[in-house]
Structure 1
Amino acid sequence: MQTSQDSTAALTRKAALGGIAVMVLTTVHHAIGAVVYRTPWRLHIALLSVPTIAVILGALAVHRRRAGAPAGRASFVVLVAVLALIPIAWIGVFEGLYNHVVKDALYFLAPRSPALLRLFPPPTYVMPDNAIFEITGVLQVIPAWVAAAALARRLLDLRR
């Protein structure tokens, strides 16, 4: 039988792994974009992904070892902040949901919509012309959702 402590640890781990998956996927996605669109500057995401993954893993490790101590609580705050701001909000919501899901939906459902060019003006945005790039962009939403849902459940458990 799983205890509430086991459940809490599992949710924390699931949120962290979801966040790591977002960062790995966004790195792959941006590398594909760098090659396909000949825009090597897209590789800058690795400068964000690697440290983000390191902070997530470090905060998770400290939290697991020192859960009841001040260091464990502080590392949990760091973990929540990093997960919420970078893999969930920035990459999952902005990059995955807005930059790809919304753009692709408008492009395929209303290709001549003035909203499409207003929300996604060239040259900042490229209209969908590479399936792998767009699919990996859209897929970023999935691990971000997993991380967000696990983190929300974990935070709700704290209130109880």
Structure 2
Amino acid sequence: MQTPQDIAAALTRRAALAGVAVMVLTTVHHVIGAVIYSTPWRLHIALLSVPTIAVLLGALAVHRRCAPTTAGRAAFVVLAAALVLVPIVWIGVFEGFYNHVVKDALYFLAPGSPVLLRLFPPPTYVMPDNALFEITGVLQVVPAWIAATALARRLLGPRAARSSLVMNG
């Protein structure tokens, strides 16, 4: 039987690695967009992705090595804050969900509607015209959701964590 510490460690690792996956996927997505739309400015995402991945993996390593200590707890706070701010909210909610899921849904359900054009005005936004770009944009939500749920279960404590690992393997 897993101890509460084992479960917390597994959820922390799952959240961190899902956060790294968000950053890798968003980098791939932005490179695709830079090439397809001849917009090299989209490559700026590397300036966010590389340091975010370094913070996530560094904080995870310190937390794993020193979990019960002040340094380990501080590393977890850094990890949780970085996860919430960048892969979960900025990329998952804003970039993946708003910029792609909502835009694509409105585009296909109400093409040309004033709401679509008000929420996603050209030239800032490009209406869906490339499946690979839109699919990779939408997919950013998946690892962000995994990171968010693992982190939430980790923060809620052993009972929630135990039931989550039993349900999710």
Tell me if TM exceeds 0.5. yes
The aligned amino acid for 1:83 is L
Q: How does 1:69-88 map to 2 (within 5 A)?
A: 69-88=69-88
Contact 2:4 2:158 in 1 (8 A): no
Q: How does 1:140-151 map to 2 (within 5 A)?
A: 140-151=140-151
Deviation per CA, 1:76-97, whole angstroms, max 9, x where unpaired?
0000000000000000000000
Match of 1:152, SS? Answer: helix
Shift of 1:112: 2.5
Shift of 1:158: 7.0
Confirm or deny that 1:25 pairs with 2:25: yes
- TM-score after normalising by structure 2: 0.93
Confirm or deny that 1:133 pairs with 2:133: yes
Partner of 1:10: 10
Partner Cα separation in structure 2 for residue 85 and residue 149 of structure 1: 15
Higher mean alpha-carbon deviation, 134-143 vs 150-159, is at 150-159
Partner Cα separation in structure 2 for residue 80 and residue 158 of structure 1: 17
Partner Cα separation in structure 1 for residue 81 and residue 158 of structure 2: 15
Gaps spanning 5+ residues in structure 2: where? 161-169
The aligned amino acid for 1:60 is L
Partner Cα separation in structure 2 for residue 51 and residue 84 of structure 1: 15
Deviation per CA, 1:4-32, whole angstroms, max 9, x where unpaired?
11110000000001100000000000000
Match of 2:85, SS? Answer: helix
Contact 2:62 2:72 in 1 (8 A): yes
Change in 2 beyond 3 A, CA 1:80/1:159: farther
Contact 2:25 2:140 in 1 (8 A): yes
Following TM superposition, the consecutive aligned residue runs of length 4 or more in structure 1 with deviations greater than 3 angstroms are: none
Alpha carbon RMSD of aligned pairs, Å? 1.2
The aligned amino acid for 2:34 is A
Confirm or deny that 1:55 pairs with 2:55: yes
Deviation per CA, 1:101-130, whole angstroms, max 9, x where unpaired?
000000000002110000000000000000
Partner of 1:121: 121
Deviation per CA, 1:46-71, whole angstroms, max 9, x where unpaired?
01000000000000000011111111
- TM-score after normalising by structure 1: 0.98
Partner Cα separation in structure 2 for residue 158 and residue 24 of structure 1: 30
Shift of 1:3: 1.4
Confirm or deny that 1:97 pairs with 2:97: yes
